Structure 1
Amino acid sequence: MQYGKILPARFLARPNRFVARVEAEGQELVCHVKNTGRCRELLVPGATVWLEESPNPNRKTKFDLIAVEKGERLINMDAQAPNQVFGEWAQSGRFREGLTLLRPETTYGSSRFDFYWKSSKSRGFVEVKGVTLEEDGVVRFPDAPTLRGVKHLEELVKAHEAGYEAAVCFVIQMGNVRWFAPNDATHPEFGQALRKAAAAGVEVLAMDCTVTPQTLTMGKPVPIKL
């Protein structure tokens, strides 16, 4: 995926989960944060962040905060980006061979999954999760308890039992990582649900990304430790 006009800034503070105060081009700005997660280990005072300028002149905030530098690592933290890059990757034929349909936001049971797909050989549902939490090259999900995430995994199991293929894809919004694991310390129930889903036949994928200030591109599979 490609962003529009980009500029660097220095992170100052985050008054609430929707906005941040930054310094860019010699002035202090208030920008929209495109991730409502905690991101405490990313948004630290003085960190270099990257902003996208909105073309909409009627917006309250002119810029969106989309990426942050953590040491030498550039991490995309746009919560909408994982679905977009997964969609581009799947449409290119690298998710399922012979893909004939990839429909976003499709309801099954009491959940709405990110995508429903059909191919010449299969049909199924996939849920996409963006991953921004990293420590010593190990990436984990979630960074905060997610009852919704647990529910999605349970519904994927039900869909698989009903004859659909089912998958969860963790889109790691950075590159050069060692492995992916569920964040049992923060939300043990999610880790339990993920292991149970994998044992029941739900496919678990973890893919890294190539990140630049202007782009996010799906990369290669990352080892998974459940």
Structure 2
Amino acid sequence: MQFSSLCRGRLVRRYKRFLADVLYQDQPLTLHCPNTGRMTGCAEPGWAVYFSTSANPRRKYAHTWELVADDRGHFICVNTARANQLAAETLAERHIPELAAYSRLESEVRYGEEGSRIDFLLGGDGLPDCYIEVKSVTLLEQDGQGYFPDTVSLRAQKHVRELIGCARAGHRAVMLFCVLHTGIERVSSARHLDPAYGRLIDEALAAGVECLAWQAEITPDGMRLARTLPFIP
């Protein structure tokens, strides 16, 4: 994934969930913030931010916050939509060995008992259908430890339940954690923040759901899922 001429500013504040004020060329500017989470450790005032610009005249805010560089020099992608885009590219290129055998790739397919849409459905070549949920990981705590989610997430809990149902029905089910923080070295379920999610991950692993973590290389020029990381439940 290549970025087209990101601009660099300095974060003033993030507020109302979807807005962020920055200084760009010493002038105040308001960005759209495409992230509904708490963004813990991703939005400290004074950090460098990188944003894209849309040519759509109907947008109220033409600029979108894409990346931030923290005080240790780590790059973080705060645009959560990029996780699915990266996953789509990587799956299409068959870059993940565990998933490389599939020839058919679909997205946003309805499934499950709770009315969900799966991020990606792989199939073909006589293989069992493979249901893949993608999650963006940006929460870094001590010693390179990354976590998902960054707060209680009923939606994330639902997705794990749906994957458990897929696995028990005989399908292949995968939780793909896209690590969009260059300082993270391993990933775990954030059971200290969302105990129910941690219990569901334990149940999912016991049912045969696979948890894969892949970290992105991130620069202001672009991103790609480049390496696997340990997933420690």
How would you bin the TM-score normalised by the shorter chain?
over 0.9
Which residue in the other structure is 1:94 paired with?
A: 95
Aligned equivalents of 1:161, 1:153: Cα separation in 2: 12
Equivalent pair of 1:172/1:208 in contact (CA under 8 Å): yes
Instruction: Calculate the TM-score normalised by the size of structure 1.
Output: 0.95
Equivalent pair of 1:76/1:216 in contact (CA under 8 Å): no
Q: How does 1:96-175 map to 2 (within 5 A)?
A: 96-109=99-112, 110=114, 111-120=116-125, 121-135=127-141, 136-175=143-182
Aligned equivalents of 1:62, 1:155: Cα separation in 2: 36
Deviations 1:98-137 (A, max 9, x none): 3221111111122211111103223121000000101231
Q: Which one-letter code corresponds to 1:101 in the other structure?
A: R
Which residue in the other structure is 2:64 paired with?
A: 64
Aligned equivalents of 2:31, 2:170: Cα separation in 1: 45
Equivalent pair of 1:91/1:99 in contact (CA under 8 Å): no
Q: Which one-letter code corresponds to 1:53 in the other structure?
A: T
Which residue in the other structure is 1:26 paired with?
A: 26
Gapped regions of structure 2 (runs ≥ 5): none
Three-state SS of the structure 2 residue aligned to 1:193 is helix
Report the CA distance between 1:162 and its aligned residue: 1.2
User: How many aligned positions are there?
Assistant: 226
Equivalent pair of 2:187/2:232 in contact (CA under 8 Å): yes
Report the CA distance between 1:176 and its aligned residue: 4.9
Change (3 A) 1:114 1:122: same
Deviations 1:12-63 (A, max 9, x none): 0123100111000121001101211111321111111111111213211121
Q: CA RMSD in A?
A: 1.3
Q: Which one-letter code corresponds to 1:128 in the other structure?
A: V
Which residue in the other structure is 1:179 paired with?
A: 186
Moved more, 88-97 or 159-168: 88-97
Aligned equivalents of 2:138, 2:91: Cα separation in 1: 21
Q: Does 1:220 align with 2:220?
A: no
Report the CA distance between 1:142 and its aligned residue: 0.4
Q: Does 1:211 align with 2:212?
A: no
Aligned equivalents of 2:44, 2:200: Cα separation in 1: 31
Gapped regions of structure 1 (runs ≥ 5): none
Equivalent pair of 2:17/2:36 in contact (CA under 8 Å): yes
Aligned equivalents of 1:5, 1:160: Cα separation in 2: 43
